[in-house]
Amino acid sequence: MKTVVVVGGGITGLCTMHYVKRQMQEKGIEAKLILIERNEYLGGKIHSAYEGGFIMETGADSIVARHPGVLELVKELDFESELVYNETGISYIHTNNELHAIPAGSTFGIPMSIDSLQASTLISEEGKKRALKDLEMPNTGFTKESSIGEFLEYFLGEEIVRKQIAPVLAGVYSGDLYQLSLTSTLPYLVDYKNEYGSIIKGFEANREQFEKAANKKFISFRNGLSALIDQLEANLPEVNFMKNTEIHSVMKEDGRYKIDIGNETVLADVVVLAVPNATVQKVLADEQLEANLKRFTTASAITLYLGFDVPDSVLPADGTGFIVSHNSDLVCDASTWASRKWKHTSHDGNLLVRLFYKNVNPRYEELAAMTDQELLEVARNDVKVSLGIDDEPTVVNVAKWIDQMPRYDLAHNEALSVLVKDLEENYPNLLLAGCSYFGVGIGACIQNGKKTAERVLAALQ
């Protein structure tokens, strides 16, 4: 009987196993299934913490509902009764020490109509006139491989990109817009420009689908995202879960793979490495792959949850959080008012705030060197400045994701293409998976797990 080993118990590795099991059952194939995870718990960047009546997501805080395969997986796990959706409301940009609403009728801060542009309180009249040039400027050279920052600035102008779009997009994609390609972010912008002659007109023509998706577009679960991980594990009794186990190397041996886990080795016919790129570099230790593996880059972030014995109603009406732009006395890059956006995270209706400090922050090196107590003092001051709340938090949770957030810069797609080809030639039946390579976000990881499972089954057959 052949053996399949998945290394990495995050959402991608678990979904790979979920779909491998389903396809094996459908096709009458037998194999030994092993999943190796270095932590004592599964989930990777999905991990819910519970304290003081609060649910805190120390990594990802939600799933995009419309992403292909997301709700399908929830149904397959018979978990629909546990679904919760985000509360809709106003998102703000904090600039000049004031909260300005991100204009209605915009997507990622990009106006979907002239009315949305004109309604913005973030952009000067001169900046609005410059953005309207998008209506008449043709695209003569930009492709989907171009920088999204350069593309947007060329057609909409520097002011709206800097003040309204960049704070939102940089928060989503964790990087410098001028180093991120359109392909890895919003490739349809090029199609809109080419087809409609304008980014704004393209959004206006497709506005209905964006407005429909804006309502209740994120999902979680009554007991947090970790509940989905627990449900996946419970539905895989056939799998040998080796938790708290770190692998040291993966080596080819007589047509199979020998996985060194320290005190023993595991032999596998098919291996899936659903782990960060840095771990792939370490366990393969292949000089021929090394130069290309180094082309994949990462970002970092520190997040803090502060829970208060204060009612959530102290927040601005209908507000769900803010992103920090320029000219602000705040240190954080963004804040989610978790108890407002996700009612299930606060059992007593008390205020729960999450603050984000990213490596693009000018003070990031100083922040990364701080103790948890020092970070708490910074966060408390940010809450005081932004919300006027000076109460002592009853619950604090600090999470540091240092060099663990994949960043898809302009070299990503080419590096991935070369890497996949090299592995097919030199490491047959060894597959890469996960957000380091095939898309960020839980939805992308679920879909990648499904596609990886198809490749595993092809290898078994």
pLDDT for 400 equals: 96
The angle, 0 to 180 degrees and rounded to 10, between the axes of the packed helices 226-234 and 11-27 is 30
User: Is the confidence at residue 212, as pLDDT, over 70?
Assistant: no
pLDDT, tens digit, 9 for 90 and up, residues 14-39: 999 999 999 999 999 999 999 999 99
Kind and range of the H or E run holding 4: strand 3-7
Q: pTM of the full predicted structure? A: 0.86
Which range among 159-173, 225-239, 414-428 shows the weakest confidence by mean pLDDT?
159-173
DSSP 303: E
User: Is the confidence at residue 168, as pLDDT, over 90?
Assistant: no
User: Is the confidence at residue 172, as pLDDT, over 80?
Assistant: no
User: Is the confidence at residue 407, as pLDDT, over 90?
Assistant: no
Q: Average pLDDT of 381-391? A: 95
As to burial, measured by CB atoms within 10 angstroms (0-12 exposed, 13-18 middle, 19+ buried), residue 205 is middle
Neighbours of 24 (CB within 10 A): 19
User: Is the confidence at residue 347, as pLDDT, over 70?
Assistant: yes
pLDDT for 98 equals: 87
Give me the chain's average pLDDT, please.
Answer: 93
Backbone region of residue 403 per phi and psi (left: phi > 0; alpha: psi in -120 to 50; beta: other values): left
**Cα(295)–Cα(297) distance, integer angstroms:** 6
Distances (CA, A) of 10 to 7, 193, 240, 371: 9, 38, 15, 28
Q: Tokens 């030994």 sit at which residue? A: 32
User: Is the confidence at residue 173, as pLDDT, over 80?
Assistant: no
User: Is the confidence at residue 416, as pLDDT, over 80?
Assistant: yes
The domains located in the chain, with CATH, are 3-44+225-295+411-460 (3.50.50.60), 103-213 (1.10.3110.10), 298-406 (3.90.660.20)
Write down the H helix ranges in 164-276.
Answer: 166-173, 188-196, 199-205, 207-214, 226-234
pLDDT, tens digit, 9 for 90 and up, residues 350-379: 999 999 999 988 999 999 999 999 999 999
pLDDT for 443 equals: 94
